[in-house]
Amino acid sequence: MLEQLPQAKWFKGRKGPLVLVVMDGIGYGKLAAGDAVAAANTPVLDWLHANCPNTRLKAHGTAVGLPTDDDMGNSEVGHNAIGAGRVFDQGAKLVNKSIASGAMFSGQAWREVVDNVCTRGSSLHFLGLFSDGNVHSHIDHLKGMLQKAADQGVKKIRVHILLDGRDVDKTSALEYVLPFEDFLAEARAGGCDARIASGGGRMKITMDRYNANWAMVERGWRTHVLGEGRQFPDARTAIETLRNETGAIDQDLDPFVIADADSQPVGRIQDGDSVVFFNFRGDRALEITAAFEQEEFTHFKRGRRPEVCYAGMMEYDGDLHVPARYLVSPPAIDRTLGEFVCRLKLRSMACSETQKYGHVTYFFNGNKCGKIDEQLEYYQEIPSDVVPFEQRPWMKCADITDAMLEGISSGKYDFLRCNFPNGDMVGHTGVFQATQIGVECVDLCLGRILQAVKNVGGILLVTADHGNADDMYELKKDGSIAMENGVPKAKTAHSLNPVPCLLYDPGYQGDYQKTLVAGLGISSIAATCLNLLGYEAPADYDRSVIQP
């Protein structure tokens, strides 16, 4: 049972609601070159910075529960931190510990996966994002599991690689594939037939999320499971050929199947096999997991659904307990901001488009599906367009704003939150002009929300979950801009930069200090929200940015 939070004696709140806006992927760049946020025309953000209390928050590395400060933040851990009010060890850190300690390999799920193939003489398949981006997965985790499986007597291993080019350099696939092929050759020399079996770009196959584009998952299913698709003798040939033919960056490369000299796929997934999906992050793991696990499945025709021993790296949905078998337990996030808001009997609204809807609901609520209180909460999802983001950089921010304005003016809610995905989703394309436009669209919509908040006497708190649009060019080791064909080389990954915390309170009465606390992380947002709603934050929450 949650404790009842006391009302703050130093701040009673305002007559209107508190509105939290998360500008996904918008941070403060360190260099003018490549900073699409600084390059954008943002009169509203400029005005907020010039006239309102503001500070910068950490949104990467240890500030959001990742192993080191060299690790990029991401939307999942960012919204976990914003909603939880404290920092929990996150996916990569938990998996690192589990592999290093051997806990993973002594767990029941791993034993079942390995025992199944050793008993049957069948194949162990690893499927997941193939890079060291450390946002969804890490190649070192794959290597650690593969080596352990070989040591434990597994004789046949097949790896299905989803090319990144999003959390790492956009055309870096071969930097992972070629050393990995050497690693597999060593395994084969030791008696384990280990090979890459299929692959494709992460935004082309398999890794859809929020039911936005099930055709991606179907393409992945046909590639990995059925072994259908264009054949190549090895992954290097596939990547080089497809890249030369299409000019696509890694995340957008077409699917490919590795076949033997007789044109037979080397790694179809068959009855009796074991499959490990080695992504630790949940949002882009749920749909392919459903395709493997669900008896009643209507999203596409699977054709052949093999009976396999399936395991995810982690439990991707704690409420629905998906998958049924997982290798590492996720962080147990409790006592979230959303729970306390409901405990206080405050009414709330959460809104975004499909691409980030789960972040202001599922991740914000500590990786829990559904509402905390059906009577007190309203969630609104705006369906995303299924088009490349650089072709429509405004995305659905106007529709999100329309919904928020209706909620603000209705008088129904005490606390409203939304996510504008543009800075992140368009930033991931690496297209500077489109990203700049996306940021400008967010600024335009922010101005509409600011006016609505002013009209009802509320408070607006603006922040971000991590940086991206602020760092659009790759740099060399000496700090200079990397060039490609005479132009700056696009960066598609998140940044390590701090993010904004901007407080617009048109009814300010001197009841808190105008100078916000510096040096905090985005986990401080939860305590800040509770304070701005007129309540003291829980004692174990990270401190608020405002103070008496």
Is the previous residue joined to 323 through a cis bond, with omega within 30 degrees of 0? Answer: yes
Of 302, 372, 297, nearest to 334 by C-alpha is: 372
Of 293, 314, 300, nearest to 136 by C-alpha is: 314
Helix (H, G, I), strand (E, B) or coil at 364: coil
Beta bridge partners of 163: 130, 201
Q: What is the DSSP letter of 360?
A: I
Spell out the residues 6+ positions from residue 80 whose beta carbon is closer than 8 angstroms to its own: 64, 65, 88, 90, 331, 333, 363, 364, 366, 367
- Angle value at C-alpha 362, between 411 and 528, nearest 5 degrees: 55
Per the CB < 8 A criterion, the answer to whether 499 and 467 are in contact is yes
Identify whether 75 is a catalytic site residue.
Answer: yes
Query: In terms of C-beta density within 10 A (0-12 exposed, 13-18 middle, 19 or more buried), how is residue 189 classed?
Result: exposed
CA distance 248 to 170: 9
Residue type, 352: S
Q: What are phi and psi of 275, to 5 degrees?
A: -130, 130
Helix 139-151 × helix 91-101 angle, to 10° = 30
Q: What are phi and psi of 15, to 5 degrees?
A: -70, -30
CB burial readout 405-414, b (16+ within 10 A) else e = bebbeeeebb
Q: Token pair for residue 372?
A: 């905390």
The side-by-side arrangement of strands in the sheet containing 459-463 is: 54-57, 499-504, 459-463, 18-23, 415-420, 348-353, 377-382
CA distance 341 to 55: 25
CA distance 401 to 52: 21
Catalytically active residues, by annotation: 75
